[in-house]
């Protein structure tokens, strides 16, 4: 099939003129899978994916969102930033139980737990949780960086002993890479974190295996690329699809607000380039982060995009747009387990491209509250069957 302007692929259903304002995605060209090196674009069978960064919450929210992930993903790294954070092995084991109990009948899904790093975390406790298989990784939140991060780390020096121990035992550190210094512009906080915190940390403890979570800048991509070892990065669905203009298009758009905040277009393009590059240091971590609508649509709204429901459709859209459908499997299914030293999944999923956009529910219900599903405002035609 010849390359076609994406705007010509719009159908009449739900693709209003206003939707074109997320401009960059629309100006690219759409290429068929045969151009991407695949014989067939209409069906794409890939190893079942995993999500290497996921917020499931607890209680009614957990019950509402978990089925969406369990439907398409075999495993996920579960973020520990509950209202009462998951700090100890006991917390993680109990949370894992609650997740397992909330799984729909017959679902085959493995939560990989993380521990929330505090300045009081003890090296022995972390090591025991890793040895016992209760925790897969530790999460570093700079205190105040994002949702429920108040118990995070203020002074990185206070957790060096824990990090040194993790390096010894090969336990990965997942990092929310933003400084919290209010004097630093919000759009620069990732780049400044690399300079002030991450690079000094990696120089001090080079054997520590680190995942820079939800990288949002070209600076982050370049930093990972330049690294020799022990550094990888997750990329989210939403940061591959929107830039910062989306937040203010026609008015303030709280459902596009997440942290790290979406950046300029040049950064989004760098993330896309990395995602489709086949470089195994970049893999999927959706950072799907549900909040009730009333906490998003308010004077001081929470950060987070709920993407679990249509993540794979969005990614197939992105990879197809980049002429790289043949690289989707590496990004969503291979590179993550390879980095974590876990086996790749044996099951497969199939994505089918419909000739009309698939109608995703705009909102889900959680304990009587509504949660908005990420809407990239492009026609999503790929569907997991
Ligand atoms: O947008 C975000 N939401 N970024 C985070 O780092 C946390 C997450 C959440 O928990 O809501
Ligand atoms: Zn997150």
Q: Sort strands 369-372 and 363-366 into parallel, antiparallel or unpaired.
A: antiparallel
Q: How far apart are CA 48 and CA 227, in angstroms?
A: 29
Q: How far apart are CA 112 and CA 169, in angstroms?
A: 17
What length is written for the chain? 385
Q: What does pTM read for this prediction?
A: 0.90
Question: What pLDDT digit, counting tens, does each position of 292-305 carry?
Answer: 999 999 999 999 99
What's the chain's average pLDDT? 90
187-216 mean pLDDT: 98
pLDDT for 310 equals 97
- Per the residue annotation, which of 51, 287, 293, 375 is the catalytic one? 287
Whether cis (ω within 30° of 0) applies to the bond prior to 384 is no
Q: How far apart are CA 142 and CA 144, in angstroms?
A: 6
Where does ligand 1 bind, in terms of residues with CB under 6 Å? 55, 81, 146-147, 176, 258-259, 287, 289, 302-304
Pick the closest to residue 135 from 171, 159, 99 (CA basis). 171
SS3 46: strand
Tokens representing 217 are 């800048």
Apex CA 78: angle with CA 309 and CA 74, to 5°? Answer: 60
Q: Is 287 a catalytic residue?
A: yes
Question: What pLDDT digit, counting tens, does each position of 3-55 carry?
Answer: 322 222 222 222 222 222 232 332 222 334 444 444 345 899 999 999 999 99
Q: How far apart are CA 58 and CA 52, in angstroms?
A: 18
How many Å lie between the centroid of ligand 2 and the Cα of residue 147? Answer: 9
Please state the atom number of ligand 1 nearest to the C-alpha of residue 145.
6
Tokens representing 174 are 């997942």
How many Å lie between the centroid of ligand 1 and the Cα of residue 81? Answer: 9
Q: What percent of the chain has pLDDT over 90?
A: 87
Domain of residue 36: give its range: 4-384
Q: What is the CATH number of the domain that holds 313?
A: 3.20.20.140
Please state the atom number of ligand 1 nearest to the C-alpha of residue 176.
6
- Please give the span between the terminal C-alpha atoms of the chain, in angstroms, as a whole number: 24
Q: Total domain count for the chain? A: 1
Between helix 89-102 and helix 59-72 the angle, nearest 10°, is 70
């Amino acid at each position: 099939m010849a390359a076609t302007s994406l705007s010509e692929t719009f159908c009449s259903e739900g693709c209003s003129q206003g939707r074109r304002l997320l401009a960059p995605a629309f100006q690219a060209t759409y290429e068929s899978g045969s151009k991407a090196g695949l014989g067939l674009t209409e069906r794409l069978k890939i190893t079942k994916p995993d999500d290497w960064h996921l917020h499931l919450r607890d209680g009614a929210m957990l019950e509402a969102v978990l089925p969406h992930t369990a439907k398409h993903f075999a495993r996920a790294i579960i973020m520990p930033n509950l209202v009462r954070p998951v700090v100890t092995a006991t917390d993680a084991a109990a949370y894992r139980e609650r997740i397992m109990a909330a799984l729909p009948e017959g679902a085959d899904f493995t939560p990989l737990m993380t521990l929330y790093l505090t300045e009081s975390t003890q090296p022995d406790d972390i090591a025991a949780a890793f040895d016992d298989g209760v925790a897969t990784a530790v999460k570093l939140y700079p205190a105040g960086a994002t949702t429920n991060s108040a118990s995070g780390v203020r002074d990185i020096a206070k957790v060096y002993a824990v990090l040194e121990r993790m390096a010894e035992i090969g336990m990965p550190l997942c990092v929310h890479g933003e400084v919290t210094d209010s004097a630093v512009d919000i759009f620069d906080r990732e780049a400044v974190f690399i300079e002030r915190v991450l690079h000094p940390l990696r120089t001090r403890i080079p054997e520590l295996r680190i995942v820079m979570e939800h990288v949002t800048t070209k600076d982050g991509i370049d930093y990972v690329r330049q690294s020799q070892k022990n550094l990888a990065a997750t990329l989210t669905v939403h940061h591959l699809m929107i830039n910062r203009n989306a937040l203010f298009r026609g008015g303030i758009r709280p459902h596009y607000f997440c942290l790290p905040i979406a950046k300029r277009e040049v950064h989004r393009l760098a993330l896309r380039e990395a995602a489709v590059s086949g470089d195994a240091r970049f893999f999927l971590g959706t950072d799907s982060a549900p909040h009730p609508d009333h906490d998003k649509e308010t004077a001081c709204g929470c950060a987070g995009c709920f993407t679990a429901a249509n993540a794979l459709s969005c990614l197939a859209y992105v990879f197809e747009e980049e002429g790289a459908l043949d690289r989707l499997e590496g990004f969503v299914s291979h590179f993550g387990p390879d980095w974590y030293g876990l086996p790749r999944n044996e099951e497969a999923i199939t994505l089918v491209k419909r000739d009309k956009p698939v109608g995703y529910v705009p909102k889900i219900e959680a304990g009587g509250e509504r949660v908005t599903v990420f809407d990239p405002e492009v026609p999503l035609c790929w569907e997991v069957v």
